[in-house]
Structure 1
Amino acid sequence: MMKTENIIVGISIGDLNGIGGEIVLKTFEDARVLDFCTPVIFASAKTMNYFKTHFKSGINFHIVNNINQLAKGKVNVYNCWNDPVKIEFGKEDVKIGEYAIKSLEAATKALKNNDVDVLVTAPINKHNIQSEDFKFPGHTDYLAQQLEGESLMFMVTESLRVGLLTDHVPVKDIVDHITEDLIVKKIDTVYDSLKRDFKIGKPKIAVLGINPHTGDNGVIGSEDDAVLRPTLKKIKENGKLVFGPYAADSFFGSSNYKNFDAIIATYHDQGLIPFKTLSFGQGVNYTAGLNKVRTSPDHGTAYEIAGKGKADSSSFKEAVFTAIQIYKNRIDYEELTANPLKKANK
């Protein structure tokens, strides 16, 4: 049963040599955040106290070895390891990657077991996390395996939402991945998320083209006409307000994106470059389509400023509040669908 008060926010600490520890501390140094949730950081007391000392933070942690020992109104730290960790800010380190995975796995387990209500992930280094036991290009792919549903990378702010048909796929392989089945699944996921997670009754979705100028009638590629356009036509005929494909080069510059509840880009940079240009520091990476809520900030480990006290925690804080709001929206949606007369009687 989902609850509306004292929402427990699980936090995976990410790459310890990056800015994750700093942005987590800065987020919860504002005690007002604790009025909205109970955070639990999956790391270790030694590690978090190291960060506290290094960044001169005034946070007092509540350390637990059992997830049932969490204290409301406190910043909880769940011990995932007890050994000392050598932290060297700004350095890529395979050993540090192992701790990032320990944190992620423990936090995901707690999410699956309903010990935490939502998950917010601090940035990882996609290279140093690779091992025989962990062969995922990022959080989204790992969580897609661990949790139920059709996962989709959904970059969101209050006024802009960008989903991806393909995410961490090499550019040379993008076209091979874009099939009618994939397009239908991803649009369904975005559509359902807009209704369930963002309270939009009749979502309006734009889809960007695969090729420049959506292929220019086959002059610059045939995929838009052969695959994308006819699939969108079928989807629209089935009742969804889906439009496109639109030429990506002018779509955002012309402010056309403001006419839609969400935009679906066909590949990673086509969507994320304009999204981060328009909203960097305020954007949130939300993994839509899963049975659990997971968000993260819209940036990486930022090794170049790690340990210097310069990291901006705005996006991480937005990720926390977005996770809380989506969790609450899902409660409202479930109540409404279980009792459709409730809306009519309001």
Structure 2
Amino acid sequence: MDKSDKIIVGISIGDLNGIGIEVILKTFEDKRMLDFCTPVLFGATKVISYHKKALNLEMPVHGISSVNQINHNKINVLNIWKEEVSIDLGQSTKISGEYAAKSLASAMEHLKEDKIDVLLTAPINKDNIQSETFNFPGHTEYLEANLDGESLMILMTDKLRIGLITGHIPISKVAEAITPELIKTKVEVMHVSLKKDFGISKPKIAVLGLNPHCGDKGVIGKEDDEIITPTINEIKKTGKLVFGPYAADGFFGSETYKQFDGVLATYHDQGLAPFKALSFGNGVNFTAGLNKIRTSPDHGTGFDIAGKNLANSSSFKEALFAAIQIFRNRNEHVELTQNVLPIK
């Protein structure tokens, strides 16, 4: 409808029986949010209306059948299915997972075709979403399979960014997965992202050790001495400001993380447990390293509180702000670097 230079934020609605739609609606309850972005929800107006009624939320949504019909002053809902869908708030069902996957797939296609500027994903249930077409441990792996680049999950707040060297893999397989090549790759992705997505010209990166006390000189494991430390020393020779390995417990307890622009944890819970303890529900999950921008809140489907109007939208709101800021930073970085004069 009306033209605008506002950033178009595509939103996959997540599990239909969870709190995803609730935090989306609560985020845009404040009409001022529409002043700097245009939301497009991928789903169906009937589903959104069901949640609005269950939560007693009053706000108009604009149903569309094509992104060409976007209204930049409204909450747009792109109807990607017409059939009635059974909603059972608080329950994990195959149907809710199936339609979460449909929402995500449509949002992904629109992202790849530049019909939306960034993607914001509401939480999925990693079990009920599995099918022949969606066979991934989570969003990050799905995104990497569909977009260009090497992904790095970064959990972030204003003061802390934690990336994961290994992601959704069993703890029994972490040690064998930590190779010099993988460490170098993840350091490179984080380094580029900190410059391009966050505007930090000389990023300082900390790498955490794998074993307790970084192995205590081989007493509790040799990976830190034999793999991680030599790899960090090798990376340093390229001029990158990379330090470590640091014992994870003391690193967070002593607030050493505040001295760095980014932190790389060796496995999922080593990074996420302290992050969630420190972020108090305001954290954002950002998938760095890909040619498109995707963020999400740092919480799950919240089946236990779904439909009870108890969900806090803070993390989703922060994910929205982060996606917009990273989009702007990335565009600014392109402008600053594409016409650089050669040094004679």
Q: TM-score, normalised by structure 2?
A: 0.97
User: Partner residue of 1:97?
Assistant: 97
How far apart are 1:340 and its partner, in Å? Answer: 3.6
How far apart are 1:264 and its partner, in Å? Answer: 0.4
Matches of 2:27 and 2:108 in 1, distance apart?
21
User: Partner residue of 1:9?
Assistant: 9
Matches of 2:196 and 2:16 in 1, distance apart?
34
| Paired residue secondary structure (2:28) | helix
Matches of 2:302 and 2:143 in 1, distance apart?
23
Matches of 1:219 and 1:237 in 2, distance apart?
28
Written as runs of structure 1 = structure 2, the 5 A alignment for 1:191-270 is 191-270=191-270
Matched, 1:84 2:84: yes
| Paired residue secondary structure (2:86) | coil
User: Partner residue of 2:18?
Assistant: 18
User: Partner residue of 1:301?
Assistant: 301
Tell me which amino acid in the other structure corresponds to 2:51: F
1:256-305 deviation line (CA, Å, top 9, x unaligned):
00000011000000000111100032110000000000000000001111
Matches of 1:54 and 1:303 in 2, distance apart?
14
1:99-144 deviation line (CA, Å, top 9, x unaligned):
0000000000000000000000000000001112211011000000
| Paired residue secondary structure (1:135) | coil
User: Partner residue of 1:344?
Assistant: none
| Paired residue secondary structure (1:76) | strand
What 5-or-longer segments of structure 1 have no aligned partner?
342-346
Tell me which amino acid in the other structure corresponds to 1:130: Q
Task: Tell me if structure 2 keeps the 8 A contact 1:280–1:298.
Answer: no
| Paired residue secondary structure (1:252) | helix
Task: Tell me if structure 1 keeps the 8 A contact 2:168–2:268.
Answer: yes
| Paired residue secondary structure (1:166) | coil
Tell me which amino acid in the other structure corresponds to 2:247: A
Matches of 2:322 and 2:133 in 1, distance apart?
31
Matches of 2:320 and 2:192 in 1, distance apart?
22
Tell me which amino acid in the other structure corresponds to 1:212: P
How far apart are 1:236 and its partner, in Å? Answer: 0.6
Task: Tell me if structure 2 keeps the 8 A contact 1:13–1:122.
Answer: yes
Tell me which amino acid in the other structure corresponds to 1:6: K
Matches of 2:280 and 2:316 in 1, distance apart?
12
Task: Tell me if structure 1 keeps the 8 A contact 2:43–2:77.
Answer: yes
User: Partner residue of 2:45?
Assistant: 45
| Paired residue secondary structure (1:221) | coil
User: Partner residue of 1:140?
Assistant: 140
How far apart are 1:93 and its partner, in Å? Answer: 0.6
User: Partner residue of 2:280?
Assistant: 280
User: Partner residue of 2:313?
Assistant: 313
User: Partner residue of 1:56?
Assistant: 56
Matches of 1:280 and 1:78 in 2, distance apart?
32
Matches of 1:93 and 1:339 in 2, distance apart?
52
| Paired residue secondary structure (1:29) | coil
Tell me which amino acid in the other structure corresponds to 1:217: K
| Paired residue secondary structure (1:263) | strand
Q: Calculate the aligned-residue CA RMSD, in Å.
A: 0.9
Percentage of pairs with the same residue: 59
Task: Tell me if structure 2 keeps the 8 A contact 1:236–1:242.
Answer: yes
Written as runs of structure 1 = structure 2, the 5 A alignment for 1:40-189 is 40-189=40-189
How far apart are 1:247 and its partner, in Å? Answer: 0.5
Matches of 1:5 and 1:324 in 2, distance apart?
12
Matches of 2:62 and 2:262 in 1, distance apart?
40
Tell me which amino acid in the other structure corresponds to 2:179: T
1:200-247 deviation line (CA, Å, top 9, x unaligned):
000000000000011111110111111111000000111000000000
Matches of 2:292 and 2:279 in 1, distance apart?
25
Task: Tell me if structure 1 keeps the 8 A contact 2:86–2:95.
Answer: no
Tell me which amino acid in the other structure corresponds to 1:68: N
Matches of 2:107 and 2:42 in 1, distance apart?
6
Tell me which amino acid in the other structure corresponds to 2:23: I
How far apart are 1:339 and its partner, in Å? Answer: 3.0
Tell me which amino acid in the other structure corresponds to 2:16: L
How far apart are 1:51 and its partner, in Å? Answer: 1.1
Task: Tell me if structure 2 keeps the 8 A contact 1:154–1:162.
Answer: yes
Distance 1:5 1:159, change over 3 A: farther
Matches of 1:11 and 1:141 in 2, distance apart?
18
